[in-house]
A and B are shown apart, each in its own frame.
Chain A
Amino acid sequence: MADVPTKTARAEWGTRFGFLMAMIGAMVGAGNIWRFPYVMGNNGGGAFVLAFLVLLFLLAVPGLMAEVALGRYTNKGVIGAFREVVGRGGMVGFGIVVLLVNVALMSYYSPLIGWTLYYAIHSLLFTFTAAGFEAETFMESFFANPPLMIALHTIVMGAIAAVLVLGIRRGVERLVVYAVPALVVALVIMTIRGLTLPGASEGIAFTFGIQWEYLTFSDTWIAALGQALFSTGLGWGIALTVGSYLREYDDVPLGGGVFTAIGESSIGILAALAIFPVVFAVGVEPDAGAGLAFISLVQVFPEIPLGGIVAVVFFLGFFLATFTSGLLITEVSVTTVSEETRLSRTQTVLGICGGIWLLGLPSAYSADVLDFLDFVFGNWGLPLATLAIIGVIGWILGPERLRLLAVNRNAGIYVGKWWDPVIKFVIPAVMLFIMGYFAWENFGEPEMIAGMFVIVLFPIVGYAIMSVVEGRHGEPDSAGVTGGDD
């Protein structure tokens, strides 16, 4: 083993701003740009904003504080953090569940980043404002070209590997401190352009008009709940990993909780202001997802003055939003595998990115596979990961212990006792409700069956792997921290 280099001291964020931008860069993704504005406008506008805001402060802010604090307290990636709390043994396998979900998520997110890259490149070529351009035909021919999709997926994973190989400070931090502000600037430019168009007020009214009756609809609250939990990336292991690189005297609750949850949602609000005034000014139907970004908006650009430039600004911003998320989703696995094995960071990055690339081929080949996986992991895989992380904090480590030992240590704001029951009871109950609700809504569907498969199989696989691996290093011990607290 003489040629295995000794691993040096753990990396740290170089600046506070770097940590904050990493959190925002990770959490702001495609959903903020192409889903949030439509969900908001379609669920009562201002009424949805109120429901969303309440749930953000009730669930996402405390949850993110807990996840970042666990990373900071243990100074380890997902598996190391779980081991620190539950002790050696099969239970550490719940950390494997989080990793598996992250790898699965990234396997279909990478092709999606490829879509945004493709549109960003075409915006730079001014394709969308060229004479005779047809948005729908262009998108259909793109989706019907698997070799191109696979090539883009390959480029994306290659680019992510290239940044991650450089490490936390020289790679991730150096990129996010420019990419996140650039995304905000891009959306601001588009907002200014949109608001100065005749007819833009229709878009504002669609998004911010208040329909109070929506607050009495369960659909509004379910939509707000989904947005508050999934948009903030709570419990996916990202906040834990980013938090594990905090420096000794860094704060957790203000930056990792309040700023991250509210800041990333602010970008969704800005996206609504950037997109819908333009869409309504031109008289195109509002939409969500690929239909909004790749058809509606693309139809809009030729119709507005400086449309070609606005398209460049929008698609570059969109690409940056998805790319930085992909970068940090991948970092979750890289950090943990690098810590848990004798592989160097470079070897780990190449192994993880290569594995994700391979697993992502079906999603790159077919958008239907991507949609299927997105539905399965969005509704059951990600809540399972959240349940694993928040569950281990709430029921094994204990929220009071974590709050006293990590959350309020060097904190920029004081977090009181109200936080403990939120972590122990409210968030786990909400995650169970979400998984149950979507299972009931899609009962018997192939997606639901696949979701149940994930819920059952991933913990078993994780438990089995860690039982074997941990057993090799001696007898499994009992947890160092037991019983939790109230």
Chain B
Amino acid sequence: MALTPAVLGMLAFTLLAFWGVALWALARTLRQEGRKVDILKQQNRMDTYSPKALAELREWIEQNPDDPLVDTARERYNECVEVLRQTDTHYYDWSDEEIARLERV
């Protein structure tokens, strides 16, 4: 059986879809880890949510005030807000305007 263009194309696609994605994920997560270590060396604390994830957490807290886990959620939300206000370097892509608009819940 010869190596047809279709077989070679599938081989290339498979390598890209598996090894490409796996190596991308490995490199990205190790790079992120390096950045987290650098930030923690500087200021000992770090923001824990991205703007999108924190907004979603706030929305959930407001919509579920009686949920048994709402206190944990509130604690995590407020912790992130405090860190964002008190630190200069942020892990996620927060702008000064976004941080200024944040309020504790």
Contacts and interface: CB of A to CB of B under 8 A. Distances in A.
A202 B1 CA distance: 5
Given A201-B1, A249-B46, A405-B72, A412 B29 contact: yes
B68 A481 contact: yes
Contact of A263 (B22, B60, B76): B22
Interface string B34-73: 0010001000001011101100110010000001110011
A483 to B, nearest CB: 9
A408 interface: yes
A254 interface: yes
Contacts of B56: 404, 408
A206 interface: yes
A208 interface: yes
B2 interface: yes
Contact of A206 (B1, B25, B52): B1
A255 B29 contact: yes
B87 interface: no
Interface in A372-408: 400-401, 404-405, 408
B19 A269 contact: yes
A55 interface: no
A424 interface: no
Interface in A27-78: 45-46, 49, 53
Do most interface residues of chain B lie in helix, strand or loop, or is the interface mixed? helix
B33 A16 contact: yes
Contacts of A269: 14-15, 18-19
Given A401-B69, A408-B53, A409-B49, A258 B76 contact: no
B7 interface: yes
Given A210-B6, A258-B21, A412-B28, A405 B76 contact: yes
Interface in A199-216: 201-202, 204-206, 208-210
Given A16-B30, A405-B69, A414-B50, A205 B7 contact: yes
Interface string A1-28: 0000000000000011100100000000
Contact of A46 (B14, B28, B50): B14
A262 interface: yes
B98 to A, nearest CB: 15
B17 interface: yes
B21 A45 contact: no
A482 interface: yes
A259 interface: yes
B60 A249 contact: no
Contact of A254 (B3, B14, B29): B29
B57 A208 contact: no
A265 interface: yes
Contact of A404 (B1, B2, B22, B60): B60
A52 B73 CA distance: 36
Choose among B22, B46, B72 the residue with the greatest number of A CB atoms under 10 Å from its CB.
Answer: B22
B10 interface: yes
A399 B87 CA distance: 31
A410 interface: yes
Contacts of A53: 17-18
Contacts of A265: 18
A480 interface: yes
Contacts of A400: 60
Contacts of B30: 16-17
Contact of A208 (B10, B22, B48): B10
A411 B3 CA distance: 42
A249 B36 contact: yes
B25 to A, nearest CB: 4
Nearest to A400: B60
Interface string A236-265: 000000000000011100110011001101
Given A262-B22, A269-B15, A20 B29 contact: yes
B12 to A, nearest CB: 9
A266 B18 contact: yes
B99 interface: no
A259 B29 contact: yes
A404 B19 CA distance: 30
Interface string A175-207: 000000000000000000000000001101110
5 contacts: A204-B7, A210-B10, A269-B18, A408-B56, A409-B76
Given A206-B1, A269-B15, A405-B73, 15 more contacts: A15-B33, A49-B17, A205-B3, A250-B33, A258-B21, A259-B29, A263-B26, A269-B14, A401-B69, A404-B60, A404-B73, A408-B56, A481-B68, A481-B69, A482-B68
Interface of A: 15-17, 20, 45-46, 49, 53, 201-202, 204-206, 208-210, 249-251, 254-255, 258-259, 262-263, 265-266, 269-270, 400-401, 404-405, 408-412, 414, 480-482
